[in-house]
Amino acid sequence: MKYFDYIIFSISILLMISVFASKLSSKISLPLLITFLGIGMLAGSEGIGKIYFDDIKFAQNLGIIALAIILFSGGFFAEHKYIKNILKKGISLSTIGVLLTCIITAIFAKILLKIDIKNALLIGSILSSTDASAVFSILRSKNISLKGDIKPLLEFESSSNDPIAFILTIISVSLLTNAQVDTIDIFLLLIKKIVLGLLIGFSFGKFLIKILNSLKLEYYGLYATFSLASILFTYYTSEFFDGNGFLAVYILGLTISNKNFFWKKFLLDFYESINMLMQILIFLMLGLLIFPSKLILSWKSSLILSSILIFISRPIAIFLSLSLSKISVKEKLLISWVGLKGAAPIVLATFPVTNNIKGAYDIFNIIFFAVCISCIVQGSSINYLAKILKLTAPYKNKSHHPIEIEESNNLDANLFECNIDDKNEIVGKAISELVFPQNTLVLLIFRDQKYVIVKGNTVIKPNDTLIFLANQKDFLEIKKTLLII
């Protein structure tokens, strides 16, 4: 077998194993990310797979691309109905919260790990953000639902704070490689990267919507190809002009998420799949990259660092950055616990290595181990803590109908559903007895795990789910008619 064939064959096996392992992971309450990392380590040169991989530069480049797609997906999946309520709090967490986490972690790391302040700042910068891939993976794979705006706030924070951590890491690397870096220059660089990232992401998002609505491609799969190319184009354009590419792609996704365009539903499904693929690939690759025999040597430093982050830095940063909000103490405690680390810190930990900073491999191993501890300790206990704090909410499964409607500017309608409980007054009535807005249709009823075609004489039964084709305004009227307020 040729070398290239061997590589592709090995990747296919690892991907299939990862998919099967995800089932086992959910049963034993082990975060998926740890499962993927473990598979990568087992397949590595010191594991049973004996696959030797030590190209840290390749891992960094692939990791950056994967993170760019994950961050775009985070913005694209964002629900704008929640963003207005959590925007100020989310921005505070992704800026002030990240800075405070970095500084507090650096101070304690210098004292407890007895390292140079510049190295302490580098470690603090790398671990300062909440990782989007970890938060999305754990909250969604474990079907965790939380009261109020906590879940959208956590998802917004994790999607928007990686860029700040990236900027802080680059600045920290500069401090270690160039003793002449000026404080004012650092501040100006930070502002420049944020402003250009915001402007490029927003302007490219507006442009992308127009393009998607005017292309009218013969093959709808090309819309996915074009959007994927747009993510990479936006990231590297922002980086070329010295902006922050991660921030740009997140804003790109956020900008188009609230607009209708052709094949939007298809693209949402596409990025749900590609997002998971990127998470699997990045953690498999990072697992292959690590050498367990060297990793185990850093366990003590990693345990100390993880304890600093979980019990000191993150809680202080959360309580201070949300001090002016009306969020309760219980909610702040839960938010502080969901300071999950994931792919982003490990990818950022490759920058000291590629910049030939002294002790970079030790830092990489410490960061890697700390991420594992965070995923296992925090990721596995989020649901339990939420239940203890009484902040859980009923989980609503995502509906999968036998028919789908593609939103566009040419159709002001979508599929909506209403669940009818056994105490509802309309139980026992026929569809023809109910008065709905003129431009709405009752398409189907989901009953006893089957779909029923609706007729005028169809009688509504307890626990039926009625599926409507309507616009948002008419659907609110429908809910009133069905006595669902």
CB 78 within 8 A of CB 159: yes
- pLDDT, position 25: 66
- pLDDT value of position 485: 47
What pLDDT does residue 141 have? Answer: 61
**Cα-flanking dihedrals φ and ψ of residue 260, to 5°?**
-90, 135
Distance CA 41, CA 44 (A): 5
The pLDDT assigned to 301 comes to 92
Q: Note the pLDDT of residue 233.
A: 96
Residue ranges in the chain whose pLDDT is less than 70: 1-4, 25-31, 140-144, 179-183, 394-401, 404-411, 483-485
Question: What pLDDT score does 441 carry?
Answer: 83
Nearest alpha-carbon partner for 151 in 209, 66, 82, 207 = 82
